């Protein structure tokens, strides 16, 4: 079949663009952790601490756990940061029992804590 | 003859004669050079906690190796003009796939690079590259729309905090202090929102493409000068992608009248795609052209003097490769020269400078038509 007979590139291109348009328009309300072409629009200062059993993980261990520095700045929406932590904890399974605390401040606002206990 | 053409097409600095329009192929080449320069190929993460969870089902080490190898092979093939559309599509899919495979690794600037390469790969032969043009417009629309719906952007709060953290120009703090509280950050927020949305609109309207290009270049250069940040690869990828809005004539008739042999020889060497058509008859004007004593026909227009130099610079792939090399040179910690070079290039080639040159540099032929827009 010749390329002229069916413009598959245009069809794929349209679908590719339509997916992104949907993300741009819908993601902020329905799924704020999804990518939606909002680069560097938020400044989240955060600090992650994890207590597993009776032991507090070191910053290096926290960094290895989430592939993020234990303390730092994140230029994506806070929902993306919290979703990253939540999903990672989900991946790690129910044991050992642990408490995760994310202290974060969005655009210089007062610090807020987000905690999760597992299991 | 065929063999000669095949050999010349293997020159990575050539951008004509393939299935993609020359400016679009140049854009793709600059983007894959950026993949190499930014080490994106080397930093491919193991899929984990990403937006594409199915990738985590694949064996990690072979997956990463295959992705790196595919990226390297397609990037090289694209640079050497082998199946450039297919290679752009595959290389873009590799970059975007890697970016989406890990939430911790994800960055919009890499996603942009990947999406533009994919969109270039989805260009139909012989048609305008509407997918890539809409892709770029969509990115600016998304960025402007998100800011517009964010209360911290509308109030200027984000800008105030962000600039206090990242701005390297002391003038900002001084100006901010001299103005009423929050006024400057609010004005800059709204200016950014208006600029991004304007760029999106300009890229949707063909006769405003060039306005969009200069607005975009101004925005990104302004951010670089203010913060000394290139935002991953975004500062380079955005201008490279704008080549999708450029159309170059297939042939450029050129007349000379007293030009030095050196100048003519240099032009012939730089004209890798053989688009300059050296002509002795049918000059659009009887009067001799001013320095560099050359005249070209650009579409329906005639160009000479400094405007000719500017036009040829903006229509020669080698200029872009040179600019890329200069701007991506690692800068020492003590001398941050990149932003000033970028600003100097922007000012030198911008339409206001071209207008000033036309206004104040004497011309031999005042009847020749001019076009204020760049190549």
- Domain boundaries, given as residue ranges, for chain A: 44-118
CA distance B295 to B107: 46
d(CA A6, CA B182): 56
* Prior bond of A119 cis (ω within 30°): yes
Mean predicted confidence (pLDDT) in B3-11: 65
On the question of pLDDT at B371 being above 50, the answer is: no
CA distances from B270 to A105, B1, B4, B13, B307 (A): 54, 21, 18, 10, 18
Residue A54, SS3 per DSSP: coil
Instruction: Tell if the CB–CB gap between A35 and B153 is shorter than 8 Å.
Output: no
Tokens of B64: 């990463």
B50/B100 Cα distance (integer angstroms): 6
Contacts of B312 (CB under 8 A, 6+ apart): B267, B270, B296, B375
Identify the three-state secondary structure at position B115. Answer: helix
Question: Which string of DSSP letters, residue by residue, matches B176-237?
Answer: HHHSSTTHHHHHHHHHHHHHHHHHHHHHHSGGGHHHHHHHHHHHHHHHHHHH---TTTHHHH
- Cβ <8 Å between A42 and B119: no
pLDDT recorded at residue B367: 43
**Residue range B4-25: average pLDDT?**
83
Tally A–B CB contacts below 8 A: 112
pLDDT at B291 over 80: no
What pLDDT does residue B370 have? 42
| Per-residue pLDDT at B375 | 42
pLDDT in tens, B342-362: 999 999 999 998 888 877 776
Question: Rounded to whole angstroms, how far apart are CA atoms B222 and B202?
Answer: 19
Chain B environment of A15 (Cβ under 8 Å): none
- Please tell me the distance from the alpha carbon of residue B365 to that of residue B256, in angstroms, as a whole number: 14
Asked whether residue B373 carries a pLDDT value surpassing 70, the answer given is no
> Which residues in chain B have Cβ-Cβ distances shorter than 8 Å to A40?
108, 162, 231
Q: Which residues in A have their CB inside 8 Å of a CB on B?
A: 3, 7, 9-10, 12-14, 16-17, 20-21, 24-25, 28, 34-43, 66-68, 73, 76, 80, 83-84, 87-88, 91, 106-108
Asked if B29 and B249 count as a contact pair (C-beta separation under 8 A), the reply is no
- Among chain B residues, the shortest Cα distance to A67 is held by B104
Distance from CA of A53 to the nearest CA of B (A): 23
Spatial distance between the Cα atoms of B1 and A100, rounded to a whole number of angstroms = 69
Asked if A39 and B109 come within 8 Å (Cβ–Cβ), the reply is: yes
Residue A63 has pLDDT above 90, yes or no: yes
The confidence score (pLDDT) of residue A119 equals 62
What are B226's two structure tokens?
């203010």
* Residue B64, pLDDT score: 96
**Structure ipTM:** 0.91
Residue A108 has pLDDT above 80, yes or no: yes
Q: How far apart are CA B320 and CA B260, in angstroms?
A: 25
Identify the residue among B48, B49, B119, B186 best suited for mutation to test binding to A, counting A beta carbons within 10 A and taking the highest. B49
Segment (H or E) for B113? helix B108-121
pTM of the model: 0.91
Please state, as a whole number, how many other Cβ atoms lie within 10 Å of the Cβ of residue A29.
8
A24 with B109: Cβ contact below 8 A: no
For residue B362, the model assigns a pLDDT of: 61
Task: Measure CB to CB from residue B122 to each of A12, A41, A66 and give the nearest one.
Answer: A12
Q: How far B131 CA lies from chain A's nearest CA (Å)?
A: 6
Across B54-78, average pLDDT: 96
What DSSP letter does each residue of A69-90 carry, written as one string?
A: -SEEEE-S-HHHHHHHHHHHHH
Check B134 against A17: CB less than 8 A apart.
yes
Burial class (CB in 10 A: 0-12, 13-18, 19+), B251: exposed
Among A69-78, B89-98, B120-129, B365-374, where is mean pLDDT lowest?
B365-374
Q: For residue B176, what are its two tokens?
A: 């901010």
Average pLDDT of span B276-305:
80
Looking at residue B37, its pLDDT comes to 94
Across the interface, whether the CB atoms of A10 and B152 are under 8 A apart is answered no
Question: Closest partner residue to A67 among B102, B112, B123, by Cβ?
Answer: B102
Q: Are B64 and A45 contacting, i.e. CB atoms less than 8 angstroms apart?
A: no
pLDDT value at residue B5 = 57
B372: pLDDT strictly greater than 50: no
pLDDT confidence tier of residue A6, bands split at 50, 70 and 90? confident
B275 burial (CB, 10 Å; 0-12 / 13-18 / 19+) is middle
Q: Which of A17, A38, A76 is opposite residue B135, by nearest beta carbon?
A: A17
Q: Which of B142, B154, B203 to mutate to test the interface with A (most CBs of A within 10 A)?
A: B142
pLDDT for res B366: 44
The answer to whether the CB atoms of A20 and B141 lie below 8 A apart is no
Query: DSSP letter at A109?
Result: P
User: Exposed, middle or buried: residue B155 (CB in 10 Å: 0-12, 13-18, 19+)?
Assistant: middle
| Better pLDDT: B117 or B336 | B117
> Over the stretch B93-123, which tens digit does the pLDDT of each residue have?
999 999 999 999 999 999 999 999 999 999 9
Distance from CA of A37 to the nearest CA of B (A): 5
CB contact under 8 A, A7 and B124: yes
């Amino acid at each position: 079949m010749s390329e002229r007979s069916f413009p598959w590139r245009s069809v794929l291109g349209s679908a590719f663009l339509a997916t992104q348009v949907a993300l741009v328009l819908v993601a902020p309300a329905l799924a704020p952790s999804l990518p939606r072409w909002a680069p560097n629009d938020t400044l989240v200062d955060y600090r992650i601490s994890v207590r597993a059993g009776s032991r507090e993980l070191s910053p290096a261990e926290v960094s290895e756990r989430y592939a993020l520095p234990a303390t730092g700045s994140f230029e994506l929406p806070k929902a993306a940061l919290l979703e990253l932590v939540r999903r990672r904890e989900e991946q790690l399974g129910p044991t050992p029992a642990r408490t995760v605390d994310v202290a974060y401040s969005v655009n210089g606002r007062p610090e807020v804590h987000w905690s999760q206990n597992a299991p | 003859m065929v063999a000669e053409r095949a050999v010349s097409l293997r020159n990575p600095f050539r951008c004509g004669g393939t299935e993609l329009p020359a400016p679009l192929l140049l854009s793709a080449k600059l983007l894959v050079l950026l993949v190499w320069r930014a080490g994106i190929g080397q930093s491919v993460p193991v899929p984990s906690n990403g937006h594409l969870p199915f990738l985590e089902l694949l064996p990690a080490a072979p997956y990463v190796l295959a992705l790196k190898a595919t990226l390297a092979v397609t990037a090289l093939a694209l640079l050497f003009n082998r199946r450039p559309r297919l290679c752009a599509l595959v290389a873009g899919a590799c970059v975007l796939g890697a970016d989406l495979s890990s939430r911790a690794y994800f960055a919009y600037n890499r996603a942009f690079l990947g999406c533009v390469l994919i969109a270039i790969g989805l260009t139909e032969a012989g048609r305008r590259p509407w997918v890539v043009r809409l892709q770029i417009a969509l990115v600016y629309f998304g960025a402007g729309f998100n800011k517009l719906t964010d209360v911290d952007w509308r109030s200027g709060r984000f800008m105030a905090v962000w600039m206090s953290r990242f701005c390297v120009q002391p003038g900002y703090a001084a100006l901010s202090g001299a103005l009423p509280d929050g006024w400057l950050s609010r004005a800059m927020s709204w200016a950014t929102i208006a600029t991004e949305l304007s760029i999106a609109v300009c890229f949707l309207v063909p006769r405003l493409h060039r306005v969009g290009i200069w607005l975009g270049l101004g925005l990104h250069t302004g951010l670089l000068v203010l913060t000394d940040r290139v935002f991953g690869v975004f500062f380079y990828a955005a201008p490279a992608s704008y080549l999708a809005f450029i159309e170059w004539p297939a042939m450029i008739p050129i007349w000379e009248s007293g030009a030095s042999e050196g100048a003519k020889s240099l032009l012939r060497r730089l004209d890798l795609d053989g688009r300059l058509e050296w002509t002795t008859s049918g000059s659009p004007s009887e009067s001799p052209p001013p320095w560099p004593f050359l005249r070209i026909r650009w579409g329906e227009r005639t160009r000479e003097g400094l405007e000719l130099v500017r036009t040829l610079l903006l229509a020669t792939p080698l200029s872009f490769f040179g600019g890329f090399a200069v701007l991506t040179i690692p800068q020492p910690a003590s001398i941050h020269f990149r932003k000033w070079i970028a600003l100097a290039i922007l000012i030198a080639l911008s339409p206001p400078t071209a207008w000033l040159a036309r206004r104040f540099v004497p011309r031999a032929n005042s009847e020749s038509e001019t076009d204020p827009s760049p190549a």
